[in-house]
Structure 1
Amino acid sequence: MNNIRELCLKYTYLSNKDIEAIQSISKTLQFIADSSKADVFIDCLSKTKSDSAIVVVSAKPRNSQSLYKENVVGKLAIRKNEPAVIRTLQTGIPSRDIKAITQENIIVKQNVEPIKNEKNEVIAVIISEKDVTEDVKENKKLEILAETNEELISQIEGKKIKYGNGDIAYHVNDAILIFDEDGILRFKNPVADELYKKLGYNQELIGMDFSNLALSKSTLSQIIEKKSIEVEEIDIGDMSFQIKYISQGSKVLKLAMLIKDITDVKEKERELILKSVVIKEIHHRVKNNLQTIASLLRLQSRRIHSEEFTIAINESINRILSIAITHEILAKQGIDEVNIKDVINKIKRFMVTLDKRDDLDLSIEIEGDDLIISSDKSTAVALVVNEAIQNCIKHAFVGKNSGKIVVKIEKGNSYSTVSVRDDGIGFDVNSISNSSLGLMIINSLVSDKLKGNLNIQSNENGTNLLFDFKN
């Protein structure tokens, strides 16, 4: 009993409660070995080596010859040699009469039953092994092949779709297995052979029962009763599969099971999720750093009483926070694209309006289309809109008690436009100073970053700044 505990603690992730359950069941192992005249073992999934199990206890029959010369407790059972053991440990599905190779290189037939805990989790398996020569099923297999040969020729060969020089079933990437109404495998393609070899099956698949080839817990009768195409995804060890079941009318070709190995796809999905988490964390840190810089500048501005310096600091804070907004959204989404409308709405909410007169009733509206663009473009657009709104607040409403700024987004097929319009006093476009920092920033971003065009129109009814960029 102590040996079981030591092995489980050393080689598995099992809890004390699970180990106690295995110890309890092990008390009946000798009885099972004697009654079945077979070598009996309890194996648990190993934590030290993938696709392997550790033998924690064994019992040899006392009333018949054991197949083993030595004690194999503490040794590993690997998928390649004992596929039924790993299959049942990973899926919880019993396995019947599956060929295996023992630790002493003897070919045996295994029957494997799962041992489950109170949470219905598989914690171990009981394995019963008999000499392969005692179980003669080859004659039945030959009878099956002879009985179905004619129907297979008429229903598969006669109706097959040609692909080059052969049957399409031999050229597809999916494993194809076809069972009769009794659940006996009647047809399989080469991909099926390769897939089950990966799972450790070393024997001929034709003639095997559905229950021994099933990779999920669905039974043959459950699948056939649904009378529809059923699709499910399962994980077995480090491998992932998509299984499709198609019920058919023929008694001999009752159920088609198509299996696609999607291990690489799932691995790429996991890599993308991991990258997404990393990217989100990077954007989160960049956003925090930018906000810290803005906070430091704000503290600095309070210590200096120069009006010109305060204005310059506030403008810089707005620019920094405009960039931070894009990173804030990216930190939540984990992808490199954002809705620019969301970004501009956030600019509107955080806009530092220290330049606005207390007696000015100002409204800022965002309208138009949702537009998804890359983070690079989003940062540039955010800065342009920020500069435009700041200019409106500073210059557009001199001598007025109220004002309105409208930012409009228009999504086009190839190019999209963003306009910032106010109902202020307007100005002479030709008199704009080339030394204006705000205008220099806008021109640079539109032409260099966005590769777009900038147009400014103004009269006594207000000003409209419009720029475009490629989607």
Structure 2
Amino acid sequence: MPTLRDALSRTALSAADVDWLHRLVGDWQMLTDLAFADLTLWLPVQLDDEADPQLSPWFLAAHARPSTGPNFYHDDVIGRPPTPARERWLDETLTTGVTITPDELGYVREQYVPVVRAGRPVAVLVRHTDLHNMRQQGGLEVNYLQISQQLFAMVAEGAFPIEGAAIGVGRGTPRVGDGVVRLTADGLIDYASPNAVSALRRLGHTDQVNGADLSEIVTSRLVQGTSVDETVPLVLTGRAPWGTEIDSGGTNLTLRAVPLTRAGRRVGALILLRDVSEIRRRERELLSKDATIREIHHRVKNNLQTVAALLRLQSRRLTDPAAREALAEAGRRLSTVALVHDTLSQGLTEQVDFDEVAARMLRATVEVASTRTVVATELTGSFGSLPAEDATHLAMVLAELVHNAVEHGFEEQPEPAPGADRSSEQAAPRVVVDARRHRDGGQETIEVTVTDNGAGLPEGVAGPDRSGLGMQIVEALISDLRGAITWEAAKPHGTVVRFTVRLRSTSVG
């Protein structure tokens, strides 16, 4: 299905015209809700000389349905060619720049509105209303329709969309269904929808709404000492097309102002407002929970590092080399887990940027394991963002494999002979970790290769001794991640360890 961008590329419109139409479509949900009608945007397109003469020079490029009433079109109509009668009205509207409302359509009412920019029609906006299914008109419907006609007139004058208008005001941007207030040019309330009246009541206003000064209603209910954004007065009086938020004693209102003009003169304003108190309360709760979780991760990290330090201190008091080594290994493993919690304590989610963890872990592991040889490390590819539990498991596996590669692969590494090229990349001790992440259907997997150019495995041996605690930890964690691991000799020397893990699925709420 062609997009609006595709359709615009077939026109002779300038970049400024194209931007104008994008802004119109970006804000026309307000128009369709106020009009209780579907809206379609028709573009005059350029046809090739060899094109079929029966093809219409008009293209239906965009369509909006109201959320305030029944829809006119239930199927997708973008790209549908116009009927001969509609093509005639489109041509007339674009040529004359005058709004046309045909009267021979029975139970269907259509209004053809020229979309004007810089004094020149560039497209045609069509309003489609099914009179048979039209909402019974009361005070709300009459006022909404009046406001919509003012906005359509602004479209035909080139005054809508409004230059510098802010469509959104963050989470909780008000919509037509949330509350509508129409102001006079003096800022007095000419009409307020039932939802708007309820929002003002929750703000604390108990007097008559119609005829009241909206700015006075809101500002008189602000808590003393509350800082007020500089946009508030202009929004409350409808003088600027901006949005703002009011916080008054636990009640939060978002407001958006749309100045209404006629022939370039401001005649009033449309104010959309919404009570977002519950949304803001939940956001505050989430922020509090996020801060609590980050603090927990920070404390866990500190506790793990403290225990690791105590183990290192204790190991120095032992005379048995095996016991001393065991405590040092336990401290190193605790430090690896602490790295993950340190990363979690700095973010807002339970996801870990594992590339950062892996880089820090590589440096720390090599520094601990390499006592006689300087070993360079390199991280290629990308792990991406991982769930916290997967990140902890993967960090432990990598730490064990890299530690094993450095400790055993370069344990007997001889010193370079006098005069030898010490900067040679081939001869320099090196451990490379490569990560490749891909999705197979709905399952995400990571393939990791740990390569060193050390002494390598003894000839005829398929892998390391699995009786050691380190290898038992590696195999247990990889099994928990539903993965597999293999060892093989590297060329010309060294070891290559490959393993694949399947990530746990995470739901996005």
Shorter-chain TM-score category? 0.5 to 0.7
| Contact 1:243–1:259 (Cα < 8 Å) also in 2 | yes
d(CA) in 1 for partners of 2:287, 2:236: 35
d(CA) in 2 for partners of 1:443, 1:196: 63
| Contact 1:370–1:409 (Cα < 8 Å) also in 2 | yes
Q: CA deviation at 1:432?
A: 3.7
d(CA) in 1 for partners of 2:194, 2:312: 70
- 2:489 aligned partner: 458
Q: Secondary structure at the match of 1:366?
A: strand
d(CA) in 2 for partners of 1:357, 1:442: 23
Out of 298, 310, 327, the residue aligned to residue 313 of structure 1 is: 327
| CA spacing shift, 1:219–1:330, aligned 2, 3 Å | closer
d(CA) in 1 for partners of 2:303, 2:141: 75
Q: Secondary structure at the match of 1:275?
A: helix
| CA spacing shift, 1:186–1:431, aligned 2, 3 Å | closer
Q: Look up the equivalent residue of 1:180 and give its one-letter code.
A: T
Q: Secondary structure at the match of 2:465?
A: coil
Alignment of 1:166-315 (within 5 A): 173-214=177-218, 218-219=232-233, 224-226=238-240, 229-250=241-262, 254-315=268-329
| CA spacing shift, 1:425–1:283, aligned 2, 3 Å | same
| Contact 1:183–1:220 (Cα < 8 Å) also in 2 | no
Matched, 1:433 2:433: no
Q: Secondary structure at the match of 2:258?
A: strand
| CA spacing shift, 1:210–1:410, aligned 2, 3 Å | same
Matched, 1:408 2:399: no
Q: Secondary structure at the match of 1:301?
A: helix
Q: Secondary structure at the match of 1:208?
A: coil
Name whichever of 391-400 and 437-446 sits farther off. 391-400
TM-score (norm 1): 0.59
d(CA) in 2 for partners of 1:264, 1:341: 38
Q: CA deviation at 1:196?
A: 1.6
Q: CA deviation at 1:220?
A: 5.4
Q: Secondary structure at the match of 2:487?
A: strand
TM-score (norm 2): 0.55
Q: Secondary structure at the match of 1:248?
A: strand
Out of 372, 385, 388, the residue aligned to residue 385 of structure 2 is: 372
Q: CA deviation at 1:467?
A: 2.4
Q: Look up the equivalent residue of 1:452 and give its one-letter code.
A: G
Length, aligned pairs only: 311
- 1:35 aligned partner: none
Deviation per residue, 1:70-118 (Å, 9 max, x gap): xxxxxxxxxxxxxxxxxxxxxxxxxxxxxxxxxxxxxxxxxxxxxxxxx
Q: Look up the equivalent residue of 1:386 and give its one-letter code.
A: A
Alignment of 1:414-429 (within 5 A): 414-427=444-457, 428=460
Deviation per residue, 1:346-386 (Å, 9 max, x gap): 2233337555342x231122232261112111111110011
Q: Look up the equivalent residue of 1:417 and give its one-letter code.
A: E
Name whichever of 387-396 and 410-419 sits farther off. 410-419
| Contact 2:179–2:194 (Cα < 8 Å) also in 1 | yes
| Contact 1:186–1:253 (Cα < 8 Å) also in 2 | no
d(CA) in 2 for partners of 1:191, 1:406: 63
Task: In structure 1, list runs of 5 or more residues that go unmatched.
Answer: 1-147, 162-170
Q: CA deviation at 1:150?
A: 13
Deviation per residue, 1:407-460 (Å, 9 max, x gap): 223232332233221112221552543313222111111111x22332333245
Q: CA deviation at 1:192?
A: 1.0
Q: Secondary structure at the match of 2:429?
A: strand
d(CA) in 1 for partners of 2:376, 2:200: 68
Task: Give identity over the alignment, percent.
Answer: 28
Q: CA deviation at 1:223?
A: 5.8
d(CA) in 1 for partners of 2:391, 2:143: 61
| Contact 1:224–1:247 (Cα < 8 Å) also in 2 | yes
Task: In structure 2, list runs of 5 or more residues that go unmatched.
Answer: 1-138, 153-174, 220-227, 415-427, 504-509
Q: Look up the equivalent residue of 2:183 and give its one-letter code.
A: F
d(CA) in 2 for partners of 1:423, 1:415: 27
Matched, 1:361 2:354: no
Q: Look up the equivalent residue of 2:244 and give its one-letter code.
A: E
| CA spacing shift, 1:323–1:283, aligned 2, 3 Å | same
d(CA) in 2 for partners of 1:382, 1:431: 21
Q: CA deviation at 1:470?
A: 3.5
Q: Secondary structure at the match of 1:285?
A: helix
Matched, 1:382 2:386: no
- 2:79 aligned partner: none
| Contact 1:421–1:465 (Cα < 8 Å) also in 2 | yes
d(CA) in 2 for partners of 1:232, 1:153: 22
d(CA) in 2 for partners of 1:206, 1:409: 66
Q: Look up the equivalent residue of 2:445 and give its one-letter code.
A: Y
Alignment of 1:122-141 (within 5 A): none
| CA spacing shift, 1:435–1:177, aligned 2, 3 Å | same
> Which structure has the larger Rg?
1
Q: CA deviation at 1:160?
A: 11
| CA spacing shift, 1:184–1:336, aligned 2, 3 Å | same
d(CA) in 1 for partners of 2:246, 2:277: 10
| Contact 1:415–1:470 (Cα < 8 Å) also in 2 | yes
Q: CA deviation at 1:322?
A: 0.3
Deviation per residue, 1:282-309 (Å, 9 max, x gap): 1122112111211121112112222222
d(CA) in 1 for partners of 2:340, 2:239: 53
